[in-house]
Structure 1
Amino acid sequence: MKRTFGERLVRSGIRLPLILWSLAVLYPIFWMFLGSFKSNAEIYANPWGIPEQFNFSNFVTAWTEYNLDTSIFNSFVVTALGAVLCLVLAVPTAYALERIRFKGSQMLFTLYISAMMIPMVLGWIPLFFLLAQFNMLDSIIGLSVVYAMSQLPFTIFVLTSFMGTIPKSLEESASVDGMSPYGILWKIVTPLTMSGIITVTIMNAIQFWNEYFMALIFLQSSENYTLALAIDFISNEAQYTNAWGVLFASLVFAILPVIILYSIFQRRITKGMTEGAIKG
């Protein structure tokens, strides 16, 4: 009985901080959802209470008057293009670094990994002038390219771990049967690393969807604003117009897709990261 009680005590001691941390994280989100259904008067009168009547006018105002539909579309395009471009570049690069041994391959891999340690903020000013020279400043395409390059080292690092778990005998058998290296990559290696590909794609997509600073620097026209920039504009307006309900509604638009996406693929992400940690 003492051992059982001790085990329960240890488990409770571990779970209690996690429960408190979960409440601390979830309560502001829950408060934000409630505030999105309140009028400005009700937010000031009862900021912490449940709304007397769930009103969707804040969502309509954010969608129509603040052109949130355009910003959501821009964020979706930037996220999709950035994730796909990063994947197209990372898959063959990871395969070459993992399977093809050439002079300087290990140094090149170390260079990619060391790039993860460099703060992205150091490259913002050079990237600004580089995009300006290529006429890609204030462009959704240009921002997508920057996003893809920013996550390329991390994606390569994860995918090389997954590809290292694939037996080389499968590739050797396919090569003996006459399959080209490109066929081996796309028909054998890629399907077997699909778990890792899905994992990094989801993580990159969440990163691109929430990104703010690079979008602020490289985008200038309001019609090209991503959702993060639109929310920042609404936040500045709310200080003078008291449009706090509209601000909460726009935050719901931003956070809801991420919550849904992570909830659907949570197990796959955890499984993918666990599988990728076992190499060799």
Structure 2
Amino acid sequence: MDYKKINPLVRWGASILLLFWTVCSVYPLLFSVFQSLKDNQQVYSGKAWDLPNLPLLWSNFSYTWDKYHFGTYFLNSIVVTGGSMLLALFLTATTAYVLARYTFKGSGILYYLYISSLTIPSLMLIVPMFFLFSALHVSNSFTGIILLYSITAVPMGMFILMGFFKSLPHELEESAVIDGASLYGVFFKIMLPLATPGLVTISIVNVLQFWNEYQYALVLLSDAIKYTLPIGLGVMQGEMQYRIEFGPLFAGLLISTVPVLIIYVLFQKQINDGIVAGAVK
């Protein structure tokens, strides 16, 4: 549709709505930046909504990083997010490939079981998952939380990747087999590289989800040295007790938010293109 052919009133209305939505989205981030550069005196003096006074308190970030162990939490989040992303990518790609390229008894039922799992609220899974992982002796460990994150990410990723695998011609597989390639060679050397747009999309989506996840990590991780950034923020607020240090608290919030924001800004085109392409195919 040609944008210039749209009714001018509709265009102005859409522009105003988008501008309002942009302000609503950007302002919380700017507000957090301003608060992270203030001390409590500026906040309690009725200047919470004003710009921070000079000099700016960049020391709030180093204070939060050292005193509240955000360096450890940050590293833990990188380990958990990276491990979960790689394992989820492998499980998702292999599952989607098999269901998309091979027909066997029960394959349809298996597909709908995966899709139906998307309708289950995550809160309903916390208690059974806790007892299951405790029985398997992987609770309170990076192994357990990585396994949990990876498993829960498979259905959505499989739904996206199946569109890519179904669109690939069968002649590619047949030619590779004739040339002596094994089933594993066909998958890893031919089919998987051709599905790169979908792989990039689900990888980015999973990273954003794993980095911000709070509920499962809160239940499964009981050792403070293994906390991730979302749990660290809650612990930080609890340690402040009756006196909240707003500057360091907002600094910790930015430390946990900015990496995800940067990833989304850099790869938003790949996310949108991959999801749309997978759905269309």
- Report the TM-score range of the alignment, normalised by the length of the smaller protein: over 0.9
Equivalent pairs, count: 276
The alignment's C-alpha RMSD in Å is 1.5
Task: Tell me by how many angstroms 1:6 deviates.
Answer: 6.5
Counterpart pick for 2:191 among 185, 189, 192: 189
- The CA deviation string for residues 22-57 of structure 1, in whole angstroms up to 9 with x for no partner, is 211211110001111111111222111111222111
**Partner residue, 1:22:** 22
Task: Tell me by how many angstroms 1:225 deviates.
Answer: 0.8
1:240 is paired with a residue of what secondary structure?
coil
The within-5 A match list for 1:24-63 is 24-45=24-45, 46-53=47-54, 54-63=56-65
Task: Tell me by how many angstroms 1:257 deviates.
Answer: 0.2
**Partner residue, 2:213:** 211
The within-5 A match list for 1:8-19 is 8-19=8-19
Task: Tell me by how many angstroms 1:235 deviates.
Answer: 2.3
**Partner residue, 2:243:** 241
Q: TM-score, normalised by structure 1?
A: 0.94
Relative distance call for 1:5 and 1:146 in structure 2 (3 A) is closer
The within-5 A match list for 1:1-280 is 7-45=7-45, 46-53=47-54, 54-238=56-240, 240-279=242-281
- The CA deviation string for residues 197-231 of structure 1, in whole angstroms up to 9 with x for no partner, is 01001101110100111111111111111100110
Contact 1:163 1:189 in 2 (8 A): yes
- The CA deviation string for residues 165-197 of structure 1, in whole angstroms up to 9 with x for no partner, is 212222222222222111111111111111100
CA distance in 2, matches of 1:82, 1:125: 21
CA distance in 1, matches of 2:6, 2:163: 39
CA distance in 2, matches of 1:206, 1:17: 26
Structure 1 spans left out of the alignment, 5+ residues: none
| Runs of at least 4 residues off by over 2 Å | 4-8, 235-239
CA distance in 1, matches of 2:140, 2:182: 41
2:260 is paired with a residue of what secondary structure?
helix
Contact 2:36 2:60 in 1 (8 A): yes
Contact 2:214 2:230 in 1 (8 A): yes
Relative distance call for 1:160 and 1:246 in structure 2 (3 A) is same
The amino acid across from 1:261 in the alignment is: I
- The CA deviation string for residues 96-150 of structure 1, in whole angstroms up to 9 with x for no partner, is 0000111111111111111111122222111111111222111111111111111
CA distance in 2, matches of 1:123, 1:177: 47
The amino acid across from 1:9 in the alignment is: L
Relative distance call for 1:255 and 1:166 in structure 2 (3 A) is same
Moved more, 51-60 or 208-217: 51-60
Contact 1:165 1:278 in 2 (8 A): no
Moved more, 186-195 or 174-183: 174-183
